[in-house]
A and B are shown apart, each in its own frame.
Chain A
Amino acid sequence: MGIMLKIDNINVYYGAIHAIKGISLEVDKGEIVTLIGANGAGKSTTLRTISGLLKPRTGKISFEDKIISGMPAHRIVECGVSQVPEGRRIFANMTVMENLELGAYIRKDKNAIQNDLKRVFKHFPRLAERKKQEAGTLSGGEQQMLAMGRALMSSPRLLLLDEPSMGLAPLLIKEIFAIIKDINEAGTTILLVEQNANMALSIANRAYVLETGKITLSGDAKELAASEEVRKAYLGG
């Protein structure tokens, strides 16, 4: 399949805090890869470094054989990487439709944008019903759907998802994860960060376990889900 994203020994700092301590990982084209770990392990930091919101002090990140570490965030979107940020971060004072249009900001081909809009509405029919509504009035689950739909509107080849289950009811989490799987089956590669390790491992092909800024375990998602170590630490026994 070929490597799509390659992170090569990056170190990331928040001021004096050494948040990411030499992480390397790979995502192959077509995969769902998940990054699990406790709060504060560095999962979000890793995603934010890939999307260019943070710069690694050392190490490099390449996407489709092009080095993207050091590029400004808006250029990385143009390369085909799109992030759904933690906490959704929708534009609450704009309509659902305007949010989706902003997702397609980098694109000019009106027809292709229309097609992707249809595709987003197929994944998330509720967004179609509420397209004229102000985004801030949506429920938590709908906001998550909007954040994902917005990210898809840039037609990314790699989708970065940061804690899509956060603050949602179990039933809704199931729905969101089923959609993530659909999106992947439709051809988008996914790197998923989750605290809900159970759900994440259930849809992922491979997983990395992150602990205080380092990768401590990695491998096939099913095998990790079965391993004693992971079950004890992240799956509640």
Chain B
Amino acid sequence: MGIMDQFLQQLINGISLGSIYALIALGYTMVYGIIKLINFAHGDIYMVGAYIGFFCITILHWPVLPALVASMILTGILGMLVERFAYRPLRSAPRISVLITAIGVSFFLEYTMMYFVTPQPRTFPSVLEDAAYHFGPFVVNNQQIMIFAITIILMAILTYIVQYTKVGKAMRAVSFDTETAQLMGINANRIISVTFGIGSALAAAAGVLVGIYYNSIDPLMGIMPGLKAFVAAVLGGIGILPGAAAGGIILGIIEALVSGFISSTFRDAAAFAILILVLLFKPSGLLGKNTNEKV
């Protein structure tokens, strides 16, 4: 296999890995956009989503799509509960208090899950036929196609909601100026809750897809992808939805290329090197405008 072929093959792998990051990063960036909180528990929400999908498939014997939808709904509710009971009481507290609380929620979810499902990794059942398609020298497998297709569909739905529905416009208004949004008659708390719900549902989808892709889930599986998705959100410009999507895909591609051409031991280092470079040279991210903080 020539260098060019290998490059394109890694590109394909990178896009499917990047789709997962993008789905998680969207939730990060939505929550940041609306209440300026880096929700460090978001990676663990994704983990819970993976488990809900896992149990729907193994215990209830549901096919993969209903399991995915059920996981998105239940995890969405979990996200709303976390917001309601952990973050809302701190709405007027300093940002650092909320940030620390987010880390607390993260541990809470990780160790509560460990208690109930044990720390042992579980083997995610293979729900798709192991088919691989050869396009000349490239191989694309069923899982990659499914991950990519579901990511695109979910992003299209999200874009529709945010751009054209009433609740989406309210989300943008609250995110731009919460106080003025309230003067429009928008119940900001309800919109913030919806935002957590949607963001958590997207993370749940990512969790189920990762289970299908890597066949293995465990209660600490959310830590690294959570951090990576955070990098992706910052890379694209935190608070900007297309930025999170682009940042996720770009990060996935870079990681795949580093794994393929240098060594897979360096792929995490590459991700965090990107974070450092973005923060040094363009802190507002690829799609970010130079922010003028509201007075």
A interface list, Cβ under 8 A from B:
51-53, 72-74, 77-78, 82-83, 85, 89, 91-94, 98, 101-103, 105-106, 150-151, 154
Contact = CB atoms under 8 A, between A and B. Distances in A.
Q: Which 9 residue pairs of A and B lie closest in terms of their CB atoms, listed nearest first? A: A77-B185, A106-B185, A73-B182, A89-B180, A105-B184, A74-B187, A102-B184, A74-B185, A105-B185
A72 B182 contact: yes
A83 B184 CA distance: 9
B182 A103 contact: no
> What secondary structure prevails in chain B residues at the interface with A?
helix
Given A53-B179, A89-B177, A103 B184 contact: yes
A196 to B, nearest CB: 22
Interface of B: 166, 169-170, 172-173, 176-177, 179-188
B177 A91 contact: yes
Contact of A105 (B170, B172, B176, B177): B170
Contacts of B173: 91, 94, 102
A154 B185 contact: yes
Given A74-B186, A83-B183, A85-B183, A102 B170 contact: yes
24 contacts: A53-B182, A72-B182, A73-B179, A74-B185, A74-B187, A74-B188, A77-B182, A85-B183, A89-B179, A89-B180, A89-B183, A91-B177, A93-B172, A94-B173, A94-B176, A98-B169, A102-B169, A102-B181, A103-B184, A105-B170, A105-B184, A106-B185, A150-B184, A154-B184
Contacts of B176: 91-94
Contacts of A106: 184-185
Contacts of A77: 182-185
